[in-house]
Structure formats: C-alpha cells, structure tokens
Structure 1
Amino acid sequence: MNWIILLDAVLLALLLVIGVPVPLCFAAAVLLLFLLGDFGSASFLVSAGFSQASSVVLLAIPLYIIAGNIMSQGGIATRLVDFAESIVGRFRGGLGIVVVLTTAVFGAISGMASSAVAAIGSTMIPRMVERGYDRGYAASLVACSAVLALMIPPSASMILYGWVSGTSITAAFLAPVLPALILIVLFCFWNWVLTKRMPLHTEAPLPAEQWVKHVAQRGRRAGLGLLMPIIILGCIYGGITTPTEAAAIAVVYAVPVSVLIYRELGWKGLYTQLWKAGQVTGVLLILVFFASMLARMFTMQSVPQLLLVGFTTVSDNPIILLLMINAFLMLIGMFMDDASGILLATPMLMPIVHKLGIDPVHFAAIIATNLGMGLITPPTAPILYLGALVGKTPLSGMLKPTMVFLLFAYLPVVLLTTFFPALSLTLPRLLLGG
C-alpha cells in the first residue's frame, strides 16, 4: 500500500504545480486512492466528508468572508486606510507603514490573506506609486503584509485548525498574536530601510495642534470601522459569544454601516458581495469535503504514523524534528492556500506534535507562521502572484523586496515562534487561564 500512498502524493503535488483548482486536486487524489486501495464501501468515506463539511463551526468562515467583502466595498476599509495615513503618512516611508497596519486590521475582520490583498492592494498600491514608491515594491509589501491575516484574530485559518485538531478556537486565535506583532514591527523597520533611496513625495509635517485635529477628524470618520474588530474580539474573549456568533455579529454590524450610514454600498452591491461570498464558500465546502475524505483515508492507511517513523529515522533530536516540520509546512504553503494546507497537514502532523510534547496551542502559531511564509515564498507563492495581479506589475519586480521580508522578517519570526513556546502560549494562558 505504501507505493499507492506515494503515487497519490505525487499526483496531488503534480496537479497543484500545473495549476489545477485545489478542490479538484483533492478530489483526484481521493478517487485514485479509492480505486487502487481497499477501503470497502464508498458510503463510509462520503458520510465522513459530509459530516465534516456540515460542521456548524465552519459557518464562521463564510460570515467573516461576507464581513470582509462588505468592508472593502462599503467604505470601511478606505476609512481605515485614511485614518492610519493621518497618523504616520507624513513621515518618510509612512505610507508603507500604513499598508502594514491597515492590512493587519483588515485581516482581523476578513481573516483571509487573499481578501486583504484585493481590498488593501487595490486602494494602496496606486496611492503608493503616486507618492514615488516603486510599483513592484508596493505590490510586494501588500502581499507580504497580507499574510498577517492568518495570524491576527479572528483568523479563518485558526478556525479550521481548531476544528481539525480539536483545539480551543479562542486559544488558537491568540497563539499567533505576539508573533504577528513582532512581524509588524520588522515589516515597518525594513520598509524604512528599503525606501531610503526611493524618490518619495512626502507631505510636510503639520503643526502639533493641526495634526491632532486632523487625526481626530479621520478617527471620527473611521470610528465605526475601528469599532468592528473591537466588538468582535470583545464578544469572543469576553465570553459573550462563540467565534461563529461573533462572525454573525460582524455581518449584522457591517451591513447597516456600509449601506445606511456610509452609503457607499447599495443594495445591489450588497447582493453582489453576498453572491461572491457564496461562491467562495461553495469552493471551500467542496475543498473541506474532499480534504476530509483524503485525511480519513490517509489515517486508515497509517500515513501519520509512517510520517512520524520517517521523521524520527532521520533524527530523534527535537530541534531537528521541529526544523523538519517547519520545512514540511512551508513546502505545503508554497503549493496550496492556507485552508488547504491546514486541512491536509494538521491530521498528518499531530502524532509528531504529541510525540514531541508540543502544546497544540503552540502548534497553532507554528502552523500559521509557516504556512504564511510558504504563501509568499517563490517559486510558487500564490499570494505573490495575486499581489502582482492586483498591482499590475511583473513578479520579477517584486522578488528583491520579498526576499528581504522573507529572510530578515518572516524567517526570524518563524524560528522564534517554533523554539520559544512562551511567545505563543503567554496570551492564551493570560486571558483564558490554564
């Protein structure tokens, strides 16, 4: 049976590399394994897929997608950008800091890196180019910062991880927060370094009194948008609602703000955003269905145990094993989106995680940072390609700044997260106890 598993893995990788849609890749892998293996009746596997896809926990993801779409089209995202720009936009390189900060805030609601690239990139890249930023650099900064959406709660990726691993979703939300804050600081620092030689057009600083008034004016204008993540996270960590109920609150809040108060999203536009969210949700549910079937088939064939044996054969040193896990996760992130990576990697790696004595909450941060790094690591780098598309720039122009962000910002954070568990466990223990 081992050769069948290997053949199935090769087929899955090949289909991903040539660009076949990810749900169809998983469907093909399931079909091949079922035809060549001995799994008895297909009804058992189908029922396993349906039971996973119908989980009420997954309802939170389309709700956050809807809220993010409404934000981007309803004026909320633009007002957040304007508010951040009023604070730091008049400093040299300040517009780059605005990108990092607003992407982090937007990720706190949408929970998806691709949504952050589309929403923030379409607004900020033209604005940065007008101010003298290199277009390739602007697109690279947006794409790299968008990966913060995986780490800033409430993250759709952490909802999936908590659901697959049986870990508390609220604890999984908190695990990557401190690594994300370190990453934000490093992104801002390297933005300052990389823009030193660019011919930037920076507005003259305002006198202190005028600056305070300007910030207050933009703050009032963006106030309703800024309240959104506060309300969502307050409800979750205050014990008032579950993450799914908080997602519903996000939608209920975003609709009247965008349609009735800001009036930048009409009822027709709202219908369009709901339709788009429905399309994304449909694709996600198909992915969950087939990925759950494939994970069940791998488990039945003891693939997690075989992977554990393979890793420990190379070395039984915990440091080496952790580095191998990081490389495995980054490789998965290079070929598929974060949701697919979590659905595939989590069941396979949990036996190794338990053997090493890694806290599942700590592993939530490890998997988030590594998959995020894979999303922007060439040659595949799906989020980089999306950033190039949104920024209307060739990928070659994005590679140099991307490698700086990867090697001197993202990689240090991945290593810190992996080898210093307190970085991931402090907030969950402080706010949730245990």
Structure 2
Amino acid sequence: MSPLILIDALLLTVLLIIGVPVPLCFAGAVLFLVLTGDFGNASFLVGAGYAKLSSIVLVAIPLYILAGGIMSRGGIAGRLVDLADTVFGRMRGGLGIVVIIATAIFGAISGMASSAVAAIGTIMIPRMEERGYDRAYATALVSASAVLALLIPPSASMILFGWVTGTSILACFLAPVVPGLLLCLLLGSWNYVLTRRMPLAAPEKATTRQVMQEFARRTKRAGFGLAMPLIILGFIYGGVTTPTEAAAVAVVYAIPISIYIYRDMNWCDTSEVIWRAGQTTGVLMVLIFFAAMLGRVWTLENVPQQIMEGFLLVSENPVILLLLANLFLMIVGMFMEDVSGILLASPLLMPVMVHAGVDPIQFAAIVATNLGMGLITPPTAPILYFAALIGKVPLAKMLTPTLVFVFLAYLPVVLLTTFVPSLSLALPRLVLGVP
C-alpha cells in the first residue's frame, strides 16, 4: 500500500479519535489526497460523489427517518412500552425485558438506534429507577437494546449496505433478523442475572382476567403503531412496492395515525419533525458524498485488493480470514457509527469475503452485528455517550453492565453469525428463495 494512502488512513483515524464530526473527517481525508496526490483533474471525484447521491435507493433513508420522527413525536413509544409492560412488567426484572422488546420494535419503526434511545430511554429510565433499578444499569440496557434497530427490519443501515455492495436490499433486511432475535434472548438472560441483587419493587398483583383486559386495551392503543413495520414489510415482500416506495407509504401512514388517532401531535409539530429529519438527512448525504469520493480514490489505488493480500499473508485459512475481518469491523465500529462504517468497510472487505466463500447476504448480517456492537464499545461508543446524556448518568458507571452485554451477548452473536451461515441465510432462503 502506498505511503500516501497509509497517511490518509491515519489522518482519517486521528480526526475520528479527536472528535471531529464524521462527515468532516471524510472530507479532510479526501482533501488531503486531492492536494498531495497525483490524480490529475480531481473533478472526477466530485462526479463520483454526485453519482452515488443520485441513486433512487437513497431516497428511502430520509423517508424512513421522517416516518420514525413522526411516530416518535406521535406517541408510539409510550404505547409500545405500556403494552410490553402488561406482558412482562410483573416478572422480576420484567422492566428490563420491556426495554428490550419496546426498543427492538421502535427501532424497527424508526430504523435508527439514536431515535430508539431518545424515545424509549426518556420513558423507561425514570420508570426503572422508580422500581428499584440502578439508573446507570437502566441506561446501559437501553443503549445496548437500541442497537437492535440495525438488525430488525426495515433498517436504514441495511439499505446502505445493499446499495454499496450491490446486494439485494430485501435479502439484507432479512439477514440480521435471526441474529437480532438471538441477541434479544441473550440480553434478556443477562438482564435477569444482573438484576438479581437489585432491590426491585414487587410488581402489583393482578388476576388473569385483569391482565387480559389490560392487554386487550393496550393492544388496541398500540395497534396502529405495531402495524406500521408489518405494513412496510408486507408491501415490500408482497411485491406491492419497492423499499423506497414502502418508505413513502410509511410517511403517509404515520401522519394521520399520529395526528388524528393518537392525537399526540398536531400539524404545527410536523414542521419541527421535518426540520429535524432534514438536518439528519443533510448530514448523512454530506457523509455519503465524501465517503464515495474517498472510496473511489482508494479503489483506484487497489486498497481492497491490498487489504485482502495482507490478510492472506497472515493465513489463507477461511476461519482465520473471517476472524481478521471481524477484528477489522470491530475496530471500525469502535471509531465510527454504523453508516460511516458500512460506507468505508463494506467495499474494502468484500474481496476478502468472496475469497473466504462468504455469501454477500451473510456478510450483511456480519457487518450489522459487528458495527452494532461497535456503537456501544469504547472508546467512542456513540450510542453509549448519547444514552448517558439521555439518562443523565456518568459514562463510567455504565461501563460494567455495558461490557457484560458486549462480551457475553453481542460477541457470541457476532461469532455465531460469522461461523453459522444458516443463522443469516435461513430467512432469505425461506422468503425470497435465494440460493
């Protein structure tokens, strides 16, 4: 690898470590190459960036962000929490299960982990503390559960992965589902273990009839929100719409539900939701623009092939190659959020995956689980820091339970997803008939 590319990669890493906004990190890496490299007229890089942004697939992402913002403001989070609380809240440690389930469902609706933290965390962290849970533990559980937004469809991250690698987005949606469900199970199990010594308040007594009546009432209240991901996925896999068109359907569905049925939002609120969605989308588009430019230069310099050759110098054993790829993804995930990690790492590692005989659909699940783990893994851990702000607790107090979730829940799922292909391929084969 040329010294110029190595310096550029080091510059990108340093900028990320010192906390420069991620789009500006990629912009700085591109500017460095343009000023110091011998690429002739650099206008072709601008063309490469705009060519990526012109894809119709990318329209789905701001639409899903907007739909998630509307449902978040429209009261869906509270209704999901109440419904899950009816089923699991009377168990010892049941509020932890409520957090996991509600966050997974809301993450599927919003498609973004940060939205799930903000919506579920503001409701559940105070409620858990009232019932005897340690506030730092509650915040750590919310942040660990929020990463399920990457794994439960429809996921904005999987749209990006499919777009970057040329893999079926429908298959990418399905690939991380089973790993995501396995992760829910492990998080729930460790929640039970970690809360055994907490002075949890005894749940209120209720008869079976009372529970069933409450469940029916809260299901009716939350039903329209619960139906949203089912409608989106039903339209997509039923062949009615493309993922982009389904995102538009989600927005059209979310507005009347939030304003006229739930009535937690009015038309004046929509302007604020649209403004925030536009801000998020703007940052994302700038990131994609510069990441595309950087990826074009690195491709011209044969960086993906050189990474593969470097891996092969260590070993040609597929197991070792997969472990090295996972290590690479873990490191990327520690310093970048999922969107940046996908844009950077997926094209670089694809030759390694092909050489190791990994199906691109399985690679989607490997990337999702690895980068999801990176979102809550120090030193940067963007979701962990965001949750600490939401929960108003010091990050240091969150580290012990978070590391339990990382090493004893996320890491086993990452390894199983990597070395048991059927976990990520079973649903795409069943639903889509992929080979």
Q: TM-score, normalised by structure 1?
A: 0.99
Give the drift of 1:267. Answer: 1.4
Look up the match of 1:223. 223
Look up the match of 1:338. 338
Answer yes or no: is the 8 Å Cα contact 2:335–2:379 preserved in 1: no
- The whole-number CA distance in structure 1 between the counterparts of 2:123 and 2:58 is 30
- The whole-number CA distance in structure 2 between the counterparts of 1:186 and 1:230 is 24
- The whole-number CA distance in structure 2 between the counterparts of 1:206 and 1:248 is 42
- The whole-number CA distance in structure 2 between the counterparts of 1:374 and 1:315 is 25
Give the drift of 1:41. Answer: 1.4
Give the drift of 1:99. Answer: 0.5
- The whole-number CA distance in structure 2 between the counterparts of 1:205 and 1:430 is 43
Answer yes or no: is the 8 Å Cα contact 2:74–2:264 preserved in 1: yes
Q: Secondary structure of the residue that 1:116 maps to in structure 2?
A: helix
Map 1:376-395; keep pairs closer than 5 Å.
376-395=376-395
Q: Deviations over 1:184-214 (max 9, x none)?
A: 0111111111111111113223111111111
Q: Which amino acid aligns with 1:261?
A: I
- The whole-number CA distance in structure 2 between the counterparts of 1:380 and 1:26 is 17
Give the drift of 1:379. Answer: 2.1
Look up the match of 2:213. 213
Q: Percent identity?
A: 66
- The whole-number CA distance in structure 2 between the counterparts of 1:43 and 1:410 is 43
Map 1:22-421; keep pairs closer than 5 Å.
22-421=22-421
- The whole-number CA distance in structure 2 between the counterparts of 1:205 and 1:195 is 20
Q: Structure 1: give runs of 5+ residues left out of the alignment.
A: none
Give the drift of 1:127. Answer: 1.0
Q: Deviations over 1:50-96 (max 9, x none)?
A: 01012110111111111111111111111111111111111111111
Q: Secondary structure of the residue that 1:199 maps to in structure 2?
A: coil
Q: Deviations over 1:136-190 (max 9, x none)?
A: 0000000000110010000000000000000000000000000000000111111
Q: Secondary structure of the residue that 1:263 maps to in structure 2?
A: coil
- The whole-number CA distance in structure 1 between the counterparts of 2:35 and 2:205 is 68
Q: Which amino acid aligns with 1:214?
A: E
Q: Secondary structure of the residue that 2:401 maps to in structure 1?
A: helix
- The whole-number CA distance in structure 2 between the counterparts of 1:391 and 1:255 is 29
Give the drift of 1:315. Answer: 1.2
- The whole-number CA distance in structure 1 between the counterparts of 2:89 and 2:236 is 32
Q: Which amino acid aligns with 2:215?
A: V
Q: Which amino acid aligns with 1:223?
A: G
- The whole-number CA distance in structure 2 between the counterparts of 1:429 and 1:41 is 46
Q: Deviations over 1:236-293 (max 9, x none)?
A: 1111111111111111111001111111111121110110000000000000000000
Q: Deviations over 1:283-340 (max 9, x none)?
A: 0000000000000000000000110111111111111110110010011111111000
- The whole-number CA distance in structure 2 between the counterparts of 1:126 and 1:204 is 18
Give the drift of 1:375. Answer: 1.0
- The whole-number CA distance in structure 2 between the counterparts of 1:383 and 1:264 is 27
Give the drift of 1:6. Answer: 0.6
Answer yes or no: is the 8 Å Cα contact 2:140–2:387 preserved in 1: yes
Give the drift of 1:365. Answer: 0.3
Give the drift of 1:418. Answer: 0.2
- The whole-number CA distance in structure 2 between the counterparts of 1:203 and 1:313 is 58
173-182 vs 261-270, which moves further: 261-270
Map 1:3-14; keep pairs closer than 5 Å.
3-14=3-14
Q: Secondary structure of the residue that 1:196 maps to in structure 2?
A: coil
- The whole-number CA distance in structure 2 between the counterparts of 1:377 and 1:186 is 17
Q: Secondary structure of the residue that 2:239 maps to in structure 1?
A: coil
Answer yes or no: is the 8 Å Cα contact 1:91–1:205 preserved in 2: no
The RMSD of aligned alpha carbons is 0.9
- The whole-number CA distance in structure 2 between the counterparts of 1:85 and 1:62 is 31
- The whole-number CA distance in structure 2 between the counterparts of 1:376 and 1:382 is 7
4+ runs of 1 displaced by more than 2 Å?
202-205
Q: Secondary structure of the residue that 1:128 maps to in structure 2?
A: helix
- The whole-number CA distance in structure 1 between the counterparts of 2:143 and 2:328 is 22
Q: Which amino acid aligns with 2:404?
A: V
